[in-house]
Amino acid sequence: MIKFNKPSITKKEEDCVVDALHNSILSGDGKYTTKVYEEFHKRFGIKNMLLTTSGTTALEMASILADLQSGDEVIAPSFTFSSTINAFLLRGANVVFCDIREDTFNIDENKIEELITEKTKAIYVVHYAGFPCEMDTIIKIANKYNLFIIEDAAQAVGSTYKGKIAGTMTEFGCYSFHETKNYAMGEGGAIVVNEEKYMERAEIIREKGTNRRNVLRGLVDKYTWHDIGSSFLPSDLLAAILYAQMERYDEIMDKRMLVWNTYFNDLKELEANGKLRLPVIPENVTHNAHMFNILLPTPEIKDDLIKKLREKDVIAYICYVPLHSSPYGLKLGYKPKDCPVTEDIASRLLRLPLYADMSEEDAKYVCECIKNIL
């Protein structure tokens, strides 16, 4: 059986958790949380980052920090996970869905400007499958209309756009360390605060609206209520898992890349024969081998492929059901035709198994199966 996903856990993760259990604090902001920040600083130059209980809550924190409120409009893709949109609906803001590009499946930067109104306050971009969006264009638009940009970089830890790290190009970047993502802590995430001026408020929001972090730092001797907020900080036990994963950063990346490249090379022949389309890598980006998607000519061929792969013990899944045409999207008044590219791509896209400990042989077997079936 070739599983769809499996976190890569070694003795290192085990040792760090046991050490955290005895030598750190069980609640958040212990020594492993600090070590994780050091790793992200060393590797990516990230200065201000806060671990959160999930990618979802990192996005929620960003919505609070951007001060999104009732009646505000936020432009975002429909081809994403519900968390991207829930994050600001929970603040009372409304979603304006933008269609995606045919090649990268990222938000179509050329369709953003026509959606802007007087109420528009922010753009949420999603670096889908670890491929960064066309940020120069999006940043130009945001500057022109004075909008926040929040990067949902849940899938894009380590990816780059023109040499810049995903999650560091706008006011706020959000990562996920869910067990299905490249670097895992079970449930967890982080908000990258790229402008110093938001950091103080970010720390308060993350600590239930209190300045408790300043007590831990010894700056004040009693903490009090300063703002709204919630319990957004994860246990140091989970940070210990993530620290071990970050120590294995290159190993995990290389292993995923091997599987990704095996798929890419072995399936080229099918692409040449018009049987499927492989991922398109834009010139100015590097990706992190988060996901491998193939685009089939019709929804029927995709459905049939899923079924027949399963008969051969290979688990493959569709990517997203578009949010605008999902039950809640329809309830908000959207129609399937509102994002035609999203609707079409989502119906034909298939996600293949990919995880760090998957062998090259397994990837080759999946390719053989696909070749035989198509």
- Contact set with ligand PLP (CB under 6 A): 54-56, 80-81, 83-84, 126, 152, 154-155, 176, 178, 189
CB of 58 to ligand PLP, least distance (A): 8
Least distance in Å: CB of 351 to ligand PLP?
A: 12
State the minimum distance, in angstroms, from the CB of residue 169 to ligand PLP.
Answer: 16
Minimum CB separation of residue 238 from ligand PLP in Å reads: 11
Locus of tokens 């996920």: 176
* Cα distance between residue 213 and residue 191, in whole Å: 16
Cβ proximity to ligand PLP: between 178 and 351 the closer is: 178
Pairing type for strands 120-126 and 148-152 reads parallel
Could you tell me which residues come within 8 angstroms of residue 37 by beta carbon, excluding any fewer than 6 positions away?
46, 49, 51
CB of 173 vs ligand PLP, minimal distance in Å: 12
Please report how close the Cβ of residue 83 comes to ligand PLP at its closest, in angstroms. Answer: 4
Q: What is the 3-state secondary structure (H, E, C) of 68-107?
A: CCCCCEEEEECCCCHHHHHHHHCCCCEEEEECECCCCCCE
Closest to ligand PLP by CB, 191 or 369: 191
Judged by beta carbon, residue 174 or residue 294, the one nearer ligand PLP is 174
Residue nearest to ligand PLP (CB): 55
Half-sphere exposure of 253 (CA within 13 A, CB side): 14
Q: How far apart are CA 146 and CA 125, in angstroms?
A: 16
CB nearer ligand PLP, residue 291 or residue 367: 291
Least distance in angstroms from the C-beta of 205 to ligand PLP: 17
Smallest gap from residue 59 Cβ to ligand PLP (A): 6
Shorter beta-carbon distance to ligand PLP: residue 81 or 334: 81
Pick between residue 46 and residue 85 the one whose CB is nearest to ligand PLP: 85
Pick between residue 178 and residue 212 the one whose CB is nearest to ligand PLP: 178
- In the bound complex, what is the minimum distance in angstroms from residue 96's beta carbon to ligand PLP? 18
Q: Which is nearer to ligand PLP, 30 or 55 (CB)?
A: 55
| DSSP string across 228-279 | ---B-PPPHHHHHHHHHHHHTHHHHHHHHHHHHHHHHHHTHHHHHTTS-BPP
Q: Are 327 and 193 in contact (CB under 8 A)?
A: no
Return the closest-CA partner of residue 242 out of 54, 112, 73, 90. Answer: 54
Nearer to ligand PLP, 319 or 363 (CB): 319
Residue number with CB closer to ligand PLP (181 or 348) = 181
Cβ neighbours of 360 (radius 10 Å): 13
Question: Helix, strand, or coil here: 325?
Answer: coil
Report the relative pairing of strands 164-165 and 49-52 from DSSP bridges.
unpaired
**Extended beta strands in the chain, E state:** 49-52, 73-77, 94-98, 120-126, 148-152, 160-161, 164-165, 172-176, 189-193, 285-286, 292-295, 317-318, 349-352
Handedness of CA 239, 243, 248, 249 (dihedral sign): positive
**Which helix (H) or strand (E) element contains residue 14?**
helix 11-23
Tell me how far, at minimum, the Cβ of 234 lies from ligand PLP, in Å: 11
CB atoms within 10 A of CB 209: 15
